[in-house]
A and B are shown apart, each in its own frame.
Chain A
Amino acid sequence: MHRNTMYRITRETMNFKGTLPTLILETLAHETSHGYRIAQQIKERSEGILDFKEGTLYPALHKLENEGMVESYEGMEKGRPRRYYRITKSGRGALTRDRAEWRELSRAMTTILGEA
């Protein structure tokens, strides 16, 4: 992963620190979305296992935007203005690298810990 990977396991959820940008890129690789929907999709797709505080989503989005991984634009939904985010070409490149690194890490962990 291009960011530090640490995780904290609570009773019901897992909080993978530093992986939020990758999860955001993964979500945006499927569809352009606004902040709230991104947060909900990460929680839904991980079946509620990956948990994060939603107030930290936007700083991560701004960082990705500063790095040129995502871009934002104003849109309308149900007559209300919304800020939408979409992944850029360099964001897709970073996501591909992150996926490869995650597979490597996951394979190494499985080798050490054994299949669950």
Chain B
Amino acid sequence: MAATITTAMATTGLDSWLQQATRCLAKDSTAQVQSEIREHYELARESAMNGGASADEADRLAVAALGDAKTANRQYRNVLLTSGEARMLRQGNWEAQAICSRSWIKWVLLIAAAAAVFSGNEFLLRGSIMLAWKLFAGGIVIGLLFAAPFLPVYTRLGGRVFRGVRWVAMLTMLGLAFGPDAPKWSWLLFSCLWMVARPEWTRASIRRKLPVAEWPRHLYL
């Protein structure tokens, strides 16, 4: 009876360790961690009992040998997919979703991008240089954001170049749009950039964790 109670307590100790160590991890990652840690725990427990420890002591030693669960969680989150990253991996990128869910949006956005570049050219010929540049930059950014799924970007290097061009175009557009008033509108600038930077950061983290062979198409963009 006492042995059953102590084993249950130790299992609770392991469960609590696992709960902390798998916090924020994706379902698959959690299952993987639970399986490998349970396997490790059983071997450690068995070894301690073979060494003469009581069941209670063996359980305690096996959990203690695992160390701090929060440290393990931090390390696991650096190498395994978190729930947010798994969601993003499933859903793809929001730009692609926006145009793929409704085909008419794709045409509206592509026409808007082409119209902006065309109008920019017209204004440039008429001498309105600043307005022309704003239209050029706007057209290119809309084009890069929403036409991305149709561009022939299939390699790691191609993806890096595409992302670099997109960021330069986006920052140029924001710079041109706000001009010398940029500091006054910095809150709006940061809000706009945050919307793009946050998913970009998550994608960069997924790229680091997944082998290139397993990358879906949208990770290149």
Q: List chain A positions with a Cβ less than 8 A from chain B.
A: 34-36, 39-40, 52-60, 62-63, 66, 68, 80, 82-83
Contacts and interface: CB of A to CB of B under 8 A. Distances in A.
Interface string B37-48: 101100110010
A66 B65 CA distance: 25
A55 B36 contact: no
B211 A66 contact: yes
Contacts of B65: 53-54
B71 interface: yes
A65 to B, nearest CB: 8
A40 B40 CA distance: 11
B91 to A, nearest CB: 22
Interface stretch (B75-83, B130-138, B146-154): B75-83
Contacts of A36: 39-40, 43-44
- Chain B CB within 10 Å, residue with most, of A39, A52, A53: A53
A25 B17 CA distance: 27
B156 interface: no
Interface of B: 17, 21, 33, 35-37, 39-40, 43-44, 47, 65-69, 71-72, 75-76, 78-80, 208-211
B39 A59 contact: no
Contacts of B47: 40
A53 B209 CA distance: 23
A82 B43 CA distance: 11
A55 B72 contact: yes
A82 B68 CA distance: 24
B79 A63 contact: yes
13 contacts: A39-B40, A53-B67, A54-B44, A54-B65, A57-B40, A58-B37, A58-B76, A59-B76, A62-B79, A62-B80, A66-B79, A66-B210, A83-B36
B33 A58 contact: yes
A98 to B, nearest CB: 19
B211 A53 contact: no
Contact of A56 (B17, B71, B80, B210): B71
A47 to B, nearest CB: 17
B211 A55 contact: no
Nearest to A37: B43
A52 B21 CA distance: 17
B78 A63 contact: yes
Q: What 5 A-B pairs are tightest by C-beta distance, nearest first?
A: A53-B67, A59-B75, A55-B66, A55-B72, A36-B43
Given A54-B44, A54-B66, A62-B79, 8 more contacts: A52-B67, A54-B40, A54-B67, A59-B79, A60-B75, A66-B79, A66-B211, A68-B211
B68 A55 contact: yes
Contacts of B79: 59, 62-63, 66
A63 B210 CA distance: 10
A56 B75 contact: yes
